[in-house]
């Protein structure tokens, strides 16, 4: 039987009492009910809550489409921005080979576009695709969001020139609205294979739809393990009022108590570079859900132990307005041990025979202790292993926690009115009719 991920608030002792956390988490059960029952603010966009079971009927089609893209091409370019690419990229990087692109026998490669407007990035991508046999997954509800729309226009034109219009159509999959929008109209006209973005699921909560699962499956990851982890976490969180056993309630309560005590910046910390893009996904989830009406916790992230040699100084000795949430992986997939040397010129023979996991864990625990003693509270989210099942648990737990946390703050966690501000200014400068 699989263990579940857990949330540990033991390092908060000097800052927030365990009793306070449990009390607030228990009271938050009412907010959890509002979230799950669809009676809270923004309930039109809470369809993600039942996705772990609802998506089951689509998995065969998603897997078949992924297998076809892998068969007809050696590379797939995923076009999207925000929630349309962050979830899939996070899972692919967390579960993939860090150096897969450099292997002599390269597996099917997933690349990303439409997440920026940088001409150098696009030029270099197009130059690479001149040499690749590639397909496209384009993800957009409307088809008119500037960054992915521009990227799709460029890449679609490139693919048509390379393969012809009919063959290009067979190599493009659109994930879009079921009935309306520019991309839906083009997909129907050109005959693209399509998947639907549900009307009641916002982008940052869409990783368990075809938005996230199709690119993940194209990358060779078992999406059923991801969904199974999310399903089991739903059972543990969505209907569980026991604050001591519901990690989503514990996490939401702990971070909000820290916020009300003046800690307005949360740093998500990892000790494996594979989790870098999980932090990017988390930043969008919480930043876009909570940052409104002049309130909200600012989400930041560091990759340790790398950033202990850059941001570590500020975290240890800077302003005491921040707290940390540490993503801790209990067991790695591989092991490497430090060798014994005759000269011992680096004075590291005391580590001979010890594993890098052991050393990394010591760095993690030592850092947590040092930061706590330096006035930085830290929450721990512990994953028993880094695999699809536990990533599914993590993603779903954070989504539930984010919904509850937004309600605790008194904001609608499912809209993003501020996102439109830059677009209006940009369109004016571009002369858009």
**6-8: strand order across its sheet:** 6-8, 378-383, 322-329, 265-270, 298-303
Torsion angle of the four alpha carbons 31, 36, 39, 41, in this order, in degrees rounded to the nearest 10: 70
Among the options 147, 280, 288, 399, which is catalytic?
Answer: 288
For residue 40, how many C-alpha atoms fall within 13 Å in the half-sphere facing its CB? 26
Q: What is the DSSP letter of 321?
A: -
**Bridge-partner residues for 268, per DSSP?**
301, 325
124 belongs to the catalytic site: no
DSSP 193-248: EEEEPPTTB-GGG-TTSHHHHHHHHHTT--HHHHHHHHHHHHHHHTT---TTT-HH
d(CA 367, CA 307): 12
Q: What is the DSSP letter of 294?
A: T
The answer to whether 127 touches 89, Cβ cutoff 8 Å, is no
309 belongs to the catalytic site: yes
Closest-CA residue to 263 (of 364, 370, 369, 379): 379
Contacting residues for 282 by C-beta, under 8 A, at least 6 apart: 268, 299, 301, 398
Among the options 57, 105, 309, 424, which is catalytic?
Answer: 309
Contacting residues for 169 by C-beta, under 8 A, at least 6 apart: 190, 191, 192
Closest-CA residue to 90 (of 334, 282, 243): 282
The answer to whether 260 touches 323, Cβ cutoff 8 Å, is no
Q: What are phi and psi of 125, to 5 degrees?
A: -65, -45
423 belongs to the catalytic site: yes
Residue 110: which H helix or E strand, with range? strand 109-113
d(CA 223, CA 70): 15
Q: Is 281 left (phi over 0), alpha (psi -120 to 50) or beta?
A: alpha
Token readout for 177 is 């609205």
Among the options 123, 166, 354, 423, which is catalytic?
Answer: 423
**109-113: strand order across its sheet:** 109-113, 75-79, 134-139, 172-176, 193-196
Would you name the residues annotated as active-site residues? 288, 309, 423
């Amino acid at each position: 039987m699989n263990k579940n991920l857990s949330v540990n608030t033991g390092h908060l002792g000097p800052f927030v009492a365990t009793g306070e956390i449990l009390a607030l988490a228990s009271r938050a059960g009412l907010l959890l009910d509002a979230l799950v029952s669809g009676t809270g603010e923004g309930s039109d966009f809470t369809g993600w809550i039942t996705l772990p079971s609802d998506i089951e009927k689509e998995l065969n089609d998603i897997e078949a489409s992924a297998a076809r893209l892998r068969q007809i091409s050696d590379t797939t370019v995923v076009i999207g921005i925000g929630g349309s690419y962050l979830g899939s990229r996070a899972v692919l990087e967390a579960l993939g080979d860090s150096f897969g692109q450099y292997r002599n026998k390269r597996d099917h490669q997933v690349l990303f576009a439409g997440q920026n407007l940088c001409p150098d990035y696009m030029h270099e991508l197009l130059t690479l695709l001149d040499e690749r046999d590639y397909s496209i997954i384009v993800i957009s509800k409307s088809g008119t969001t500037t960054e992915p729309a521009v990227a799709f226009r460029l890449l679609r034109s490139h693919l048509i020139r390379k393969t012809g219009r009919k063959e290009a159509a067979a190599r493009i999959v659109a994930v879009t609205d079921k009935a309306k929008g520019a991309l839906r109209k083009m997909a129907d006209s050109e005959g693209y294979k399509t998947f639907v973005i549900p009307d009641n699921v916002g982008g940052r909560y869409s990783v368990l739809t075809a938005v996230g699962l199709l690119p993940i499956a194209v990358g060779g990851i078992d999406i059923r393990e991801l969904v199974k982890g999310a399903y089991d976490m739903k059972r543990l969180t969505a209907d569980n009022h026991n604050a001591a056993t519901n990690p989503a309630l514990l996490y939401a309560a702990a971070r909000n108590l820290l916020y009300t005590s003046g800690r307005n910046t949360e740093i998500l910390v990892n000790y494996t570079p594979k989790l870098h893009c999980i932090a990017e996904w988390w930043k969008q989830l919480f930043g876009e859900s909570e940052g409104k009406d002049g309130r909200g916790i600012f989400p930041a992230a560091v990759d340790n132990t790398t950033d202990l040699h850059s941001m570590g100084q500020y975290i240890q000795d800077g302003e005491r307005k921040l707290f940390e949430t540490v993503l801790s992986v209990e067991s790695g997939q591989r092991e490497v041990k430090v060798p014994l040397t005759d000269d011992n010129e680096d004075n590291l023979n005391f580590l001979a025979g010890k594993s890098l996991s052991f050393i990394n864990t010591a760095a993690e625990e030592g850092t947590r202790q040092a930061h706590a003693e330096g006035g930085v509270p830290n929450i721990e989210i512990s994953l028993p292993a880094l695999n699809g099942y536990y990533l599914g648990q993590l993603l779903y737990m954070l989504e539930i926690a984010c919904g509850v946390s937004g309600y605790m703050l008194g904001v609608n966690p499912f809209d993003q009115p501020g996102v439109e501000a830059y677009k209006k200014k940009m369109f004016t400068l571009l002369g858009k009719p």
